[in-house]
Amino acid sequence: MAPPINTAHFEQLKASGDLPSPKGVALAIMRLTSQDDVSMAELARIIRTDPAFVGRLIKAANGVIGYGRRPIASVQDALTVLGMPAIRTMALGFSLMTNYKSGACEAFDYADYWSSCLAAAVTTQAVCMRTRAAAPDETYCLGLLASVGELALATLYPKEYAEVLREVKAKPGLQIIELESRRFGMNHAELGAAMLADWGMPRVFTEAAYHSDGLGDCPFPDGSRERTLTEALMIARTMGELCLTAEAARPPVMRRLLQLGSRLSFDESSTVELCDGVAREWVEWGVLLNVKAEALPPFEQMRRQAAQVDEVPAEQEAPSDPVAVKAPEPVAPVAEAIVRPLVAPAPEPAGLSVLLASADEAASAALRQLLLNAGYKVAIVRDVSMAAEFALDYEPDIFVVDWALTDKGGEESIRAVRETRIGRGMFIVILSERRDEEFMVRAYGLGVDDVLSKPVSPRLLLARLEAGKRVTTMHSEIERDREEIRHFAAELAVSNRRLQEVAMMDPLTGFPNRRFFVDRLLQEWAASTRNKRPLSCVIVDVDNFRIINDTYGHEVGDSVLRQISTAMRDVLRSHDVVARTGGDEFLVMCPDTPLEAAQACAERLRAAVEGAEIVSGMLNLKLTVSVGLAARDASIGDTDALVRRAEQGLQTAKQAGRNRVSGVQLRPHVAGA
């Protein structure tokens, strides 16, 4: 089932150096993680040199820890949560996104490509958190990179691939896969899967990426992990497409999304809920990564629109006037459903957008032409029941309502618009034959910005709209300022996390400090109580360290501590938490670890230091450590008591001659103690 790509051809492409590849810190991370003896502290040190990657990594870790857990705030915690494979592929994905935001292929929309990939990443993660087909952190990376073959072809063959894209656009029925294969001897799905495999992604991921591109029937059996991952990626690709689709063209894409969700036993309400969450996450990630990601309307609304379009008879789907849509005679409720999806703006002038709600076909046509000549974009809706809904979807700068739509209908439309965040920024003008005081007071009370008498004076209308233009321009500037503030807030959050991390980090060894350790120990104590799981604590003290400082000086002492820390780090398990809590003292917390396993861990630490060759300048030193340990039992009432018990074990080890491990557990741990 492996993607059929010519290996020799792919190796030639790699050798050319032109394939998209990681750079800078990401390249250093990938090289480091390819080594067998890499340590978390060394990896964290490299990651900290790139503040932007730190922020992205911490956000990714917080996305997979689940509800009710303390938010991740440090690189060390993020590494523990995500693990080495996810860190590697995240570094790769974020590096490609940073370094390939533009390129030489003129017909390839780089901004839309990354926007779609980001939506796919968030969707894949969300789906896999529900299906448990794979680790959510790794599937985020899979979604982000699943379409990397498209970027690769645009990078390798910018002119030729631009021609392929233009040909496909000119002939909608043409299959891009076939054109790519004829032109380049491979298609983007094959190339992308080969690149993912070359970057070390599991085979199940590369095959899912290849088959999710719609290349024939999915070959995997129903219910298999491969099938679930493939269908998760198909949902993700469709979600990416929907995020970039114009409002009027969304219903068929939404239907396809619901159908794909049903394959994974998601009912429509579950799919809608999932998509709403993805849309919010997509916007948040977009701010952090500086990738285009705009807020989407509620997916329940899109689901209803898709269902309504399904019900429309085929002969009603294509109006003769592509700009102004007149509602059919109200012979059936479903007839009104086609008005909103089919109302389309006029061809794109450079000016502001105007939505004209008017049932008078002749008057609205004249006003439309007047506004087009003045440089406005114009859309018309003639069904009063759809005016407010379309105004919120189309989001015009100026909303002109003909009060002849009936007082009640016009009033309800304006009130509905003004009650929304989007509607509060619109400039609303009403056209009415009434000018009495009662009417004017009621209109302005609804939130109308201006009232014009009918018949409308063209010069006066344009003058009033010019005033509205100033107001809407001011709103746009305010919104841009808010966006800048949001972006600044995201960057500030990253900086704050880094400051918090520095405050909890020992600069000499790269280990967390006592403050961090105490905080984590309290968390694990609560988890131990709640889940009835064991918890152990180990304390390590360097034997005769004061003699080294007094004899050789503090510079040598610092070098010794760094090398001892490296030796300890290499033998700790990934879920152990180590901290430097004093001059030559270290604390290690071992979650889900009974006394016997903690004793084995402590012995590994002792042996690692004893066997390490400590070199500083011309000195070649052999050092040892004494280790005390304790496991939670019924006699230990809190975290302080657990640490004190470990300290008692340390004193016993020192009194017995040093370079040894000592610890006891008085009574078995009682659940809830």
Q: What are phi and psi of 19, to 5 degrees?
A: -65, 145
Whether the Cβ atoms of residue 426 and residue 391 lie closer than 8 Å to each other: yes
**Nearest to 659, CA basis, from 621, 609, 614, 625:** 625
Residues 6 or more apart whose Cβ sits within 8 Å of residue 605: 538, 540, 568, 571, 572, 588, 625, 627
Under the banding of pLDDT at 50, 70 and 90, the label for residue 120 is: very high
Q: How far is Cα 312 from Cα 319, in angstroms, rounded to an integer?
A: 12
Domain boundary, last residue among 236, 269, 304: 304
Give the pLDDT of residue 215.
Answer: 58
More confident position, 609 or 61: 609
Q: How far is Cα 40 from Cα 362, in angstroms, rounded to an integer?
A: 72
Under the banding of pLDDT at 50, 70 and 90, the label for residue 325 is: very low
Confirm whether 311 is domain-assigned. Answer: no
Q: Are residues 431 and 552 in the same domain?
A: no
Question: pLDDT tens for residues 440-452?
Answer: 888 888 888 888 8
More confident position, 324 or 562: 562
Q: How far is Cα 655 from Cα 571, in angstroms, rounded to an integer?
A: 26
DSSP string covering 53-92: HHHHHHHHHHTTS-TTSPPP-SHHHHHHHH-HHHHHHHHH
Q: Are residues 78 and 109 in the same domain?
A: no
Question: pLDDT tens for residues 470-511?
Answer: 887 777 777 777 767 766 676 676 666 666 666 778 888 888
Strand 450-453, strand 398-402: pairing: unpaired
CATH number of the domain bearing residue 256: 1.10.3210.10
Give the pLDDT of residue 440.
Answer: 85
Total number of domains in the chain = 4
Residue range 446-459: mean pLDDT, rounded: 84
Q: Are residues 148 and 244 in the same domain?
A: yes
Q: How far is Cα 662 from Cα 647, in angstroms, rounded to an integer?
A: 10
Q: How far is CA 430 from CA 78, 381, 403, 448, 662, in A?
A: 55, 14, 6, 7, 85
Q: Provide the 8-state DSSP code for 536.
A: E
**Nearest to 247, CA basis, from 341, 318, 323:** 341
Question: pLDDT tens for residues 358-379?
Answer: 877 888 888 888 888 888 888 8
Query: At residue 114, does pLDDT exceed 80?
Result: yes
Q: Are residues 345 and 457 in the same domain?
A: yes
**Nearest to 636, CA basis, from 595, 671, 666:** 666
Q: What are phi and psi of 632, to 5 degrees?
A: -60, 135
Query: At residue 349, does pLDDT exceed 70?
Result: no
Both tokens assigned to 7: 């290996």
Both tokens assigned to 156: 């390798």
Give the pLDDT of residue 316.
Answer: 42
Give the pLDDT of residue 348.
Answer: 40
Residue 606: how many CB atoms within 10 A of its CB? Answer: 22
Model pTM score: 0.47
CATH number of the domain bearing residue 599: 3.30.70.270
Give the pLDDT of residue 465.
Answer: 85
Give the pLDDT of residue 406.
Answer: 47
- Select, from the ranges 24-33, 333-342, 620-629, the one with the highest average predicted confidence (pLDDT): 620-629
Residue range 532-554: mean pLDDT, rounded: 91
Confirm whether 508 is domain-assigned. Answer: no
Give the pLDDT of residue 497.
Answer: 63
Both tokens assigned to 231: 């269908």
Q: How far is CA 63 from CA 13, 69, 487, 519, in A?
A: 35, 11, 19, 21
Q: Provide the 8-state DSSP code for 457.
A: P
Confirm whether 397 is domain-assigned. Answer: yes
**Nearest to 33, CA basis, from 93, 94, 98, 83:** 83
Q: Are residues 125 and 255 in the same domain?
A: yes
Give the pLDDT of residue 3.
Answer: 55
Confirm whether 493 is domain-assigned. Answer: no
Confirm whether 272 is domain-assigned. Answer: yes
Query: At residue 69, does pLDDT exceed 70?
Result: no
Q: Are residues 16 and 27 in the same domain?
A: no
Q: How far is Cα 363 from Cα 402, in angstroms, rounded to an integer?
A: 10
Question: pLDDT tens for residues 210-237?
Answer: 888 865 567 788 888 888 999 999 999 9
Query: At residue 642, does pLDDT exceed 90?
Result: yes
Whether the Cβ atoms of residue 229 and residue 216 lie closer than 8 Å to each other: no
Confirm whether 646 is domain-assigned. Answer: yes
Tokens 């078995």 label which residue? 668
Under the banding of pLDDT at 50, 70 and 90, the label for residue 408 is: low
Q: What are phi and psi of 93, to 5 degrees?
A: -65, -45
Domain boundary, last residue among 49, 66, 99: 99
Give the pLDDT of residue 288.
Answer: 74
Q: How far is Cα 156 from Cα 174, in angstroms, rounded to an integer?
A: 22
Q: How far is Cα 538 from Cα 629, in angstroms, rounded to an integer?
A: 4
Q: Are residues 86 and 109 in the same domain?
A: no
Confirm whether 344 is domain-assigned. Answer: yes
More confident position, 163 or 94: 163
Residue range 144-151: mean pLDDT, rounded: 90
Domain boundary, last residue among 76, 99, 122: 99
Give the pLDDT of residue 35.
Answer: 67
Residue 219, helix vs strand vs coil:
coil
Q: Are residues 89 and 104 in the same domain?
A: no
CATH number of the domain bearing residue 386: 3.40.50.2300
Query: At residue 320, does pLDDT exceed 60?
Result: no
Both tokens assigned to 118: 């980001």
Q: Provide the 8-state DSSP code for 345.
A: P
Residue range 69-74: mean pLDDT, rounded: 65
Confirm whether 525 is domain-assigned. Answer: yes
Q: Which strands make up the sheet holding 450-453, listed edge to edge?
A: 324-325, 377-381, 353-357, 398-402, 427-432, 450-453
- Over 275-329, what HEC string results? HHHHHHHHHHHHHHHCCCCCCCCCHHHHHHHHHHHHHCCHHHCCCCCCCEECCCC
Q: Are residues 649 and 581 in the same domain?
A: yes
Query: At residue 154, does pLDDT exceed 80?
Result: yes
DSSP string covering 655-670: HTTSSSEEE---SPPP
Query: At residue 666, does pLDDT exceed 70?
Result: no
Whether the Cβ atoms of residue 646 and residue 539 lie closer than 8 Å to each other: yes
Q: Could you list the residue range(s) of the whole structural domain that residue 428 is in?
A: 324-478
Q: Which helix (H) or strand (E) holds 586?
A: strand 585-591
Q: Are residues 262 and 283 in the same domain?
A: yes
Q: How far is Cα 477 from Cα 384, in angstroms, rounded to an integer?
A: 31
Under the banding of pLDDT at 50, 70 and 90, the label for residue 385 is: low
Q: What are phi and psi of 539, to 5 degrees?
A: -120, 130
Query: At residue 66, does pLDDT exceed 50?
Result: no
Q: Which of 226-230, 434-438, 552-556, 632-636 shows the lowest per-residue confidence on average (mean pLDDT)?
A: 434-438
Residue range 259-266: mean pLDDT, rounded: 89
Give the pLDDT of residue 332.
Answer: 32
Strand 427-432, strand 398-402: pairing: parallel
Contacts 24+ apart (CB under 8 A), 410-418: 410/357, 410/384, 411/442, 411/446, 412/388, 413/357, 413/384, 413/387, 413/388, 414/388, 414/446, 414/447, 414/448, 415/446, 415/447, 416/388, 416/389, 416/392, 417/388, 417/391, 417/392, 418/446, 418/447
Under the banding of pLDDT at 50, 70 and 90, the label for residue 645 is: very high
Q: Are residues 91 and 109 in the same domain?
A: no
Under the banding of pLDDT at 50, 70 and 90, the label for residue 5 is: low
Query: At residue 118, does pLDDT exceed 60?
Result: yes
Q: Are residues 210 and 133 in the same domain?
A: yes
Q: Provide the 8-state DSSP code for 215.
A: -
Question: pLDDT tens for residues 167-219?
Answer: 888 887 778 888 888 888 888 998 888 888 888 888 888 888 988 886 556 77
